[in-house]
Amino acid sequence: MGKSISGFSKLSKSKKIDWIVNSYFSNAEDAKRILKQYWNDDLKLQQLHDEFIENTISNYYLPLGVAPNFLINDRHYTIPMAIEESSVVAAASKAAKFWLDRGGFKTKVISTTKIGQVHFMYYGDFEILNAFFQNVKSKLIKDTQGITKNMEARGGGIIDIELRNKTQDIKGYHQLHASFETLDAMGANFINSCLEQFAKTFKAEAEHYDGFSSLDHPIEIVMSILSNYVPDCLVRAEVSCPVEILSEDPSVSGIDFADTFIQAVRIAEVEPYRAVTHNKGIMNGIDAVVLATGNDFRAVEAGVHAYASKDGQYRSLTHAKVENGIFTFWMEIPLALGTVGGLTGLHPLVKLSLELLHKPNAKELMQVVAVAGLAQNFAALRSLTTTGIQQGHMKMHLMNILNQFKANDSEKMALTTHFKNHTVTHSAVVEALQNLRLTIEK
C-alpha cells in the first residue's frame, strides 16, 4: 500500500483526495467521507483555509474553549484556548476563580527586543573585519530603509547590529547579530527581510574593500534568519496573597499548603526530569492561547524551553516563596507574539479570540498568555500536592473513554453520575459500561 507520485501539488483538491484514499486506505469511500465531512459548507471560508498551507485535503479541528474569571491588572478577561487535552481549560478556569478573590494576576512587560542573525564565514584577520564592519554598519541600516519605513513610522525598526566572532566554536564563523523592535507584529517576515538585505549589502561591500584585497571572496554568507530565542522579549506574571488565606481546605493550614507547594516548585528548579513535565504544564495554558490567537506556538515552545536552560541546566520557569507572611508565585517568560499580520487578520476565529481579549496589542497579549501559563501551573501543582493529578484529570477524561466506546446519551448520563463517587480508570469505565449494557439487555 502506498506509492510515490509526480506533480501532486498541481492536482485539484478532489484529485489529491482520490489519489490518497485509493493509494493508502483499505476503505477508500469511508476515508473520503471523513475528509469531506470536515470541509466547511461556506466555500469562500473553505478556500481561505485551503490557502493557509499547501496540499490541503481537509480541515483538522481542535476544540476552542474559554476560561472565564481571570482578573489581570484589575481588568476582567475570558481567555480563549484551542487545545485537545482534557482538563486544561477546567484547570485554568479553576485557578482564575481561586485568584479572583485574592487580588488576581499582576503582569508587566519587561522588554520586547527580538533577534536576527546573518551567519557568515570569514578566514582573515578579525581586526580588519571589525574595521570593515564599523565602516559599513550605517550603510547596512540605510539599505533597509525601504523595508523599515513603515515600521519606523509606528515606532519600531532596527535597534542595533553587532559583529560577533564565533571562531572559538567553528573555524571562520562570524555573525551579524541584529536586534529589532517589531511592536504589534510578531515580526518574522520583517526581520528576515532586513537580514537578507544586510547580507546582500555586507557581501557586496566586502568585494571591493581595500582591507580584503588579499582574499578573493572574503565574506561567505551561510544564511540569514531570525532567532526564536528571545531572552530580551520578556513578560512577568505573578500572584500573591496573605499565606493564611491560601488554603481552601479547612483541614490544611495556609502555611502548610504553601510549604508543600514551594517544595514542589523547588524540586522542578533542580531536577530536569521533573522540570520538563512541570514546564509542559505551563505550556498547556500558553500554547492553547497562542494557537487560539493565531500565533506560532512552535516558535514560542522552542524559545521558552531554551530560556529554561539559560544557565546550563533545564529548570522550572516558575518560582514561589513566602516572605513576611505573603505567598508569591511568579514567572518570567520570553514570548514573541503578534496581534497584526499572519493569521490574526485572516482566520475568523482568531479575530473573535482577539476581540474576546479586548483587542489587545502585542504587549497586552504577552501578559494574557503568560497568565494562562502561570494559572495552569498553579492548578497542576495544587492538585499534585493535595488530591493528586489523576482525580481531576481522569474525571475530565471520562467522556473521551465513553465516546471511544460509542456510549449513547443515557449511558453517558448514568456513568457520569456513577463516577462522581468512584475512581475513574480506563478499565473501570469499560467494565461499568459493559455492566450497564448487560443490565439494560436483561
Query: Rounded to an integer, what is the distance from CA 401 to the centroid of its chain?
Result: 28
In the chain, DSSP finds a helix count (H) and a strand count (E) of 15, 10
DSSP-derived secondary structure letter, 10: G
Which of 13, 18, 85, 259 is catalytic? The answer is 85
Contacts of 89 (CB under 8 A, 6+ apart): 65, 66, 67, 81, 83, 288
3-state secondary structure of 242: strand
Distances (CA, A) of 26 to 1, 23, 31, 194: 9, 9, 9, 50
**Of residues 16, 32, 49, 393, which has the active-site annotation?**
393
Distance CA 237, CA 170 (A): 39
C-alpha cell at 179: 536586534
Burial of 363 per CB tally in 10 Å (0-12, 13-18, 19+):
middle
279's CB contacts (< 8 A; 6+ apart) are 268, 304, 305, 308, 316, 317
Residue 418 designated active-site: no
208 part of the active site: no
> Which are the contacts of 259, defined by CB distance < 8 A and separation ≥ 6?
322
Q: Which of 331, 375, 317 is nearest to 70 (CA)?
A: 375
Residue type, 52: F
Cβ-contact 314, 287 below 8 angstroms: no
Q: How far apart are the C-alpha atoms of 139 and 137, rounded to whole Å?
A: 5
Give the span between the Cα atoms of 402 and 397, in whole angstroms.
9
* CB crowding 119-141: b at 16 or more within 10 Å, else e: bbbbeeeeebbeebbeebbeebb
Q: Is residue 296 flagged as an active site residue?
A: yes
Q: Which of 358, 349, 435, 402 is nearest to 63 (CA)?
A: 349
CA angle 427, 433, 439 (to 5 degrees): 135
How far is it, in rounded angstroms, from Cα 136 to Cα 118?
15
Dump strand ranges (E) for 228-291. 234-242
Of the residues 97, 177, 280, 351, only one is catalytic, namely: 280
Question: Which one is catalytic: 50, 238, 296, 364?
Answer: 296
Which residues are the active-site residues? 85, 280, 296, 393
